[in-house]
Amino acid sequence: MNITGATRVLALIGSPVSHSLSPQIHNRFSDSLGLNYAYLAFDITHDGLKRFTEAARLMGIAGFNVTMPLKERIIPYLDAVSDAAGLCGAVNTVVNKAGTLIGHNTDGDGFARSLEREGFVFNGKKALVLGAGGAARAVALALAKRGMSVRMASRSPDKEVVAEGAEYCNWSDTGSEAEGCPLLVNATPLGMHGVNEDFADLSFLDALPSDSIIYDLIYSPRETALLKAAKGRGLRAINGVPHLVCQAALSFELFTGHTPSERVVSDLLTDTDIF
């Protein structure tokens, strides 16, 4: 990276962010394409959100990613949101178009793209998504859009249907809902580094077909207790790294208009220095 007077700034905001891998990923994308962007992480909480959006306009920050706990709270400070972000009520990518801030959500399509890379065929199959937060809704909508029949297991399922093909079910019904599902996604923080809670009961894994994919959106640790138990049962286990890289590639494209090559995405996914 060669920082000059013409370097454009990209950023991640949220709290905490010091552990984030997004700077390495985005700066690698920029370098690989010979572009002049620098991606930094800023620890911003809800209190600083309004001031950050004003600063982003003032300083001409080209775009920024939004992570926990701001994905929903950022929306009132934006000028517009995309259909995907509006439907799932969460924004992970903001593009600054000459002072107009537009919110997008690349979590769903990034997740689906990472599964496509594994050769997964979506149409007509069942999926069970654990959780009903921003990431869960984005993933559920993307899977439903691709023809899957999706249930989102929630502790508070008294919410409306999310969209055609995606609806809530009770957390306590996870075992019966898992039956016949070739795809189970953990979109809760259970098992994440720094979170003092994990799954109390993993018996729902026994209800899954033997060729199922267990996809945990968590990437720290790389192998959660859920993934370890899935592997122990001979199921296919995927951690949150492919999702992280694929949603970042879509965000980078929105920020810059340039698509990271397949080669740089593959290199990142196998980079043991980062992952």
Catalytic residues: 71
β-bridge partners, 63: 10, 95
Residue 22 vs 98, nearer CB to ligand NAP: 22
Instruction: List the x/- string, 206-235, binding to ligand NAP by CB under 6 A.
Output: -----------xxx----------------
CB atoms within 10 A of CB 108: 27
State yes or no: residue 188 binds ligand NAP (CB under 6 A): yes
State yes or no: residue 197 binds ligand NAP (CB under 6 A): yes
Residue 30 vs 106, nearer CB to ligand NAP: 106
State yes or no: residue 14 binds ligand NAP (CB under 6 A): no
Stretch that binds ligand NAP, among 97-105, 112-120, 241-249, 252-260 (CB under 6 A): 241-249
State yes or no: residue 247 binds ligand NAP (CB under 6 A): yes
State yes or no: residue 131 binds ligand NAP (CB under 6 A): yes
Distance, in Å, from the CA atom of 177 to the CA atom of 112, rounded to the nearest integer, reads 21
Closest CA to 91 of 99, 145, 80, 100: 80
Q: Which of 128, 144, 192, 265 binds ligand NAP (CB under 6 A)?
A: 192
Residue 131 vs 182, nearer CB to ligand NAP: 131
Instruction: List the x/- string, 41-70, binding to ligand NAP by CB under 6 A.
Output: ---------------------------x--
Distance, in Å, from the CA atom of 63 to the CA atom of 114, rounded to the nearest integer, reads 23
Q: How far is the CB of 98 from ligand NAP (least distance, A)?
A: 29
Instruction: List the x/- string, 148-187, binding to ligand NAP by CB under 6 A.
Output: ------xxx--------------x---------------x
State both tokens at 75: 């929306």
Distance, in Å, from the CA atom of 246 to the CA atom of 269, rounded to the nearest integer, reads 9
State yes or no: residue 268 binds ligand NAP (CB under 6 A): no
Nearest residue to ligand NAP by CB is 133
Stretch that binds ligand NAP, among 95-103, 112-120, 133-141, 250-258 (CB under 6 A): 133-141
Tell me which residues touch ligand NAP (CB under 6 A): 68, 71, 107, 131-136, 154-156, 171, 187-190, 192, 197, 217-219, 240, 243-244, 247
